[in-house]
Amino acid sequence: MRTLLQSEIRSLPLLGRGKVRDMYAVGDDRLLIVATDRISAFDVILDDPIPGKGHVLTALTEFWLQRLGHLVPTHATGIAPEEVVAPDERDQVAGRAMVVKRLQPILVEAVVRGYLIGSGYKDYRADGAVCGVALPSGLRLADRLPEPIFTPAAKAEFGQHDENVDFAYVVAQVGHALAHEMRRVTLALYAEAARHALARGILIADTKFEFGVDAHGTLHLMDEVLTPDSSRFWLAEAWQPGANPPSFDKQFVRDWLETQAWNKTAPAPRLPADIISQTAAKYQDALERLTGVDA
């Protein structure tokens, strides 16, 4: 499997490069999104790719879009990426790219939490609430919440940190009706995904969804869905409140970086070979456990 740090598609106009994905225009109404093997941590892109990562992200996203598509329209088109690039570029997109609808993105991350961890735990320790949602007293790190909560975040400029916001912020950004629909759909997506994952021995501690609207204003699920980059996946049998459970996501890389003398600005420390291989194995393990197939 070819490791891809950056795609170089010459047959389509390049629209931009994100932390992980490269985006190209396919006519006026579609996009080609290529998931590279780049990895970021603390909003910094690392110099070392994780082999196979882009294939895992794409395979998981396609799996979830198919499984959850009855809950909300999605950006999937079913068009094979190999069909929209030049023949000598097909190896760059095979298994790691999607041709999707071109939507107007909603600049609010739809975060849902089923467990108390990360920035949510920090907010709770400070004022007993997460994004304006009051929670019972006495909750511990990694505790399961009484029910999943919608805790949105304002999307930051590239290289900046997203900011936790309350529901009133979402209403002000997109309007009352669309904000309520986003919250309803987010919680429904999480509930169904969490049931499936638990049956496979994985807890979804939290995840973030991205939404956009089409020309008619219809809400669509877009971008990556329930991947190790956008979610915290825990091994159910290892979960114990009060401790940070082992994960199948890039938290493993973050934890290693926290041990380094680094100010969390570019450039990041180079990853040792064993950290790269273990991270790749965690991504692959998440795919196999959740879908039953490998990339």
* Helix, strand, coil share of the chain (percent; to 5): 35, 25, 40
Fold classification of 105-249 (topology level): D-amino Acid Aminotransferase; Chain A, domain 1 (3.30.470)
CA atoms within 13 A on the CB side of 239: 21
Tokens 């790190």 identify what position? 141
pLDDT score recorded for residue 1: 66
Q: What are the extents of the domains in the chain?
A: 14-102, 105-249
Give the C-alpha distances (Å, rounded to integers) separating 170 from 115, 137, 173: 22, 26, 5
Fold classification of 14-102 (topology level): Phosphorylase Kinase; domain 1 (3.30.200)
pLDDT score recorded for residue 163: 87
* Tokens linked to 270: 């180079």
For the chain, 295 residues long, the average pLDDT of each consecutive 10-residue run is: 93 96 98 97 93 97 98 98 98 97 97 96 96 96 98 75 89 97 98 97 97 97 96 95 88 91 94 95 95 74
pLDDT score recorded for residue 105: 96
| C-alpha to C-alpha distance for 239 and 241, rounded to whole angstroms | 7
